[in-house]
Amino acid sequence: MRRSQYFLPTLKENPAEAQIASHRLMLRAGMIRQSSAGIYSWLPLGLRVLKNIERIVREEQDRAGAQELLMPTIQPADLWRESDRYDDYGPEMLRIADRHGRDMLYGPTNEELITDIFRQSVRSYKDLPKLLYHIQWKFRDEIRPRFGVMRGREFLMKDSYSFDLDFEGARRTYNKMFVAYLRTFKRLGLRAIPMKADSGPIGGDMSHEFIILADTGESEVFCHKAMLDLPVPEDGLDYDADLQPIVDEWTSRYAATEEKHDPAKAAELGDDLVSARGIEVGHIFYFGTKYSKSMGAQVTGPDGAETAVEMGSYGIGVSRLVGAVIEASHDENGIIWPEPVAPFRAGIINLKAGDDGCDAACGELYESLAAAGVEVLYDDRPGRAGVKFADMDLIGLPWQLIIGPRGVKSGRVEVKNRATGEKVDLTAADALARLLG
């Protein structure tokens, strides 16, 4: 992509409304624009990151054996009356009437809708277990939307739902999602710590929040220091094997959110206690038969008796993660994207656009990177080098390839690593090899 043609409206000044780094940087880097409180448009650069995160979340769900479907954003109120959540959900739910006067709503979550789909089609224990997910926009009329995409009103969530015959089956599925979450966040360049949590309006009695430690987190969290270094399962993990030992390893030490915090127990940890602020990027719930009973989602068991299925739900805040990654990875000059989520892998800076030699060298490098499948943003605009350096640091691409008249003469490209600041002079061929390596 050529910068001169790309829609990337960066801002020089810090927007007054942004209180935290990620919000400030997402506005300044031209990733999002607010349309009303807590509701955002995703501009091309921001959308690329959102899609990258979505792709990694999807790959790890698929690996764990979950199957993707897509449910609508608009749901009928009647389903929520069946589960008795229509009134309970309160003013956070955006309620709409259609032209026939039917009560509808913009889904804040999908337990009811998926239970309805399930009960229409599954009758026998032989069809279990089932683990389904979608990645869809949600709406919650948050009382205090803030921090940009971190606490939005409209936000993108990955939500999975599981159906098992009995508790043992439900626990196995819960463990699969638990482990898939560890892997997902690691691939995003984050260390997320599972913490015992309250299940709130979703209900149920086994629940973990996945928390990233960051000073700007909304809640206070506590955990054993060892949790910061526990190993995350590698590629090739067999999701049908017994995952309980992994889950035990991650849940045997003290880790709790504010609501579940037990100061006496925490004090026993002494110097090993970490107390910090955290961002909740995922939340998993086991809630048994809460919805299957009230909505009549039953199967015939092996003994011929009808039994309500055991359910769980598993959410990841996909749009929140864009902000969370930035909170975890930025400096005073801008964003520092971890490679897997970066909107482009590299940026080329032409220090003297309009100069035949610089244009030719940059154009050639641009073509060869594109041909090798490297996503690259080429800053071919006329103008001051300082502006281009600042802009490139702001948008945080992992690699910067800088070419000016001096480099053209010596046949070299300056390669800068955004994260370390390290700079090396390489031939174009070596620069390409470095990026492919």
Give the interface with ligand 5CA as residue ranges (CB under 6 A).
109, 111, 140, 142, 151-152, 155, 157, 159, 202, 280-283, 285, 313-315, 317, 319-320
* 371 three-state secondary structure: helix
| Cβ at position 118, least distance to ligand 5CA in Å | 15
Q: How far is the CB of 140 from ligand 5CA (least distance, A)?
A: 5
Q: Which is nearer to ligand 5CA, 26 or 401 (CB)?
A: 26
- Quote the least distance from Cβ 218 to ligand 5CA, whole Å: 10
Longest dimension (CA), the chain: 82
Nearer to ligand 5CA, 133 or 378 (CB): 133
Q: Which is nearer to ligand 5CA, 254 or 285 (CB)?
A: 285
Minimum CB separation of residue 220 from ligand 5CA in Å reads 17
Q: Write phi, then psi, for 223 (nearest 5 degrees).
A: -160, 165
Alpha-carbon gap, residue 30 to 48, rounded angstroms: 12
Looking at residue 152, its amino acid is G
Residue nearest to ligand 5CA according to CB distances in the complex: 317
Q: How far is the CB of 282 from ligand 5CA (least distance, A)?
A: 5
Half-sphere exposure in the Cβ direction for 18 (13 Å, CA):
20
Collect all residues with Cβ–Cβ distance below 8 Å to 395 and sequence separation of at least 6. Answer: 8, 10, 29, 30, 45, 334, 335, 343, 347, 377
Matching residue, tokens 């030992």: 245
Smallest distance, Å, CB 112 to ligand 5CA? 10
Quick one: 38 or 398, whose CB is closer to ligand 5CA?
38
Smaller CB separation from ligand 5CA, 111 or 414 = 111
Cis peptide bond upstream of 338, omega within 30: no
Please, what is the minimum distance in Å from the beta carbon of residue 97 to ligand 5CA? 24
Q: What are phi and psi of 374, to 5 degrees?
A: -90, 125
- Closer residue to ligand 5CA in complex, CB, 85/418: 85
| Strand 376-379 to 346-350 pairing | parallel
- Report CA-CA distances (Å) from 61 to 76, 161, 239, 310: 27, 11, 11, 20
Q: Which residue lies nearer to ligand 5CA by CB, 23 or 140? A: 140
- Please report the DSSP string for 277-322 in residue order: EEEEEEEEEEEETHHHHHHT-EEE-TTS-EEEPEEEEEEEEHHHHH
Compare residues 217 and 343 and give the one whose CB is closer to ligand 5CA: 217
**Which is nearer to ligand 5CA, 278 or 347 (by Cβ)?**
278
How far, CA to CA in Å, does 38 sit from each of 33, 153, 155?
A: 10, 5, 9
Contact criterion met (CB below 8 Å) for 187 and 162: no
CB of 287 to ligand 5CA, least distance (A): 10
CA distance linking residue 170 with residue 177, whole number of Å: 11
Query: Minimum Å distance from CB 325 to ligand 5CA?
Result: 13
Residue closer to ligand 5CA (CB basis): 139 or 344: 139
- Identify the CA nearest to 153 among candidates 86, 91, 76: 91
Cα angle for residues 305, 307, 312 (degrees, 5° grid):
160
CB of 57 to ligand 5CA, least distance (A): 11
Q: Which is closer to ligand 5CA, CB of 201 or CB of 231?
A: 201
Report in angstroms how near the CB of residue 92 gets to ligand 5CA at its nearest: 9
Indicate the DSSP class of residue 2.
B
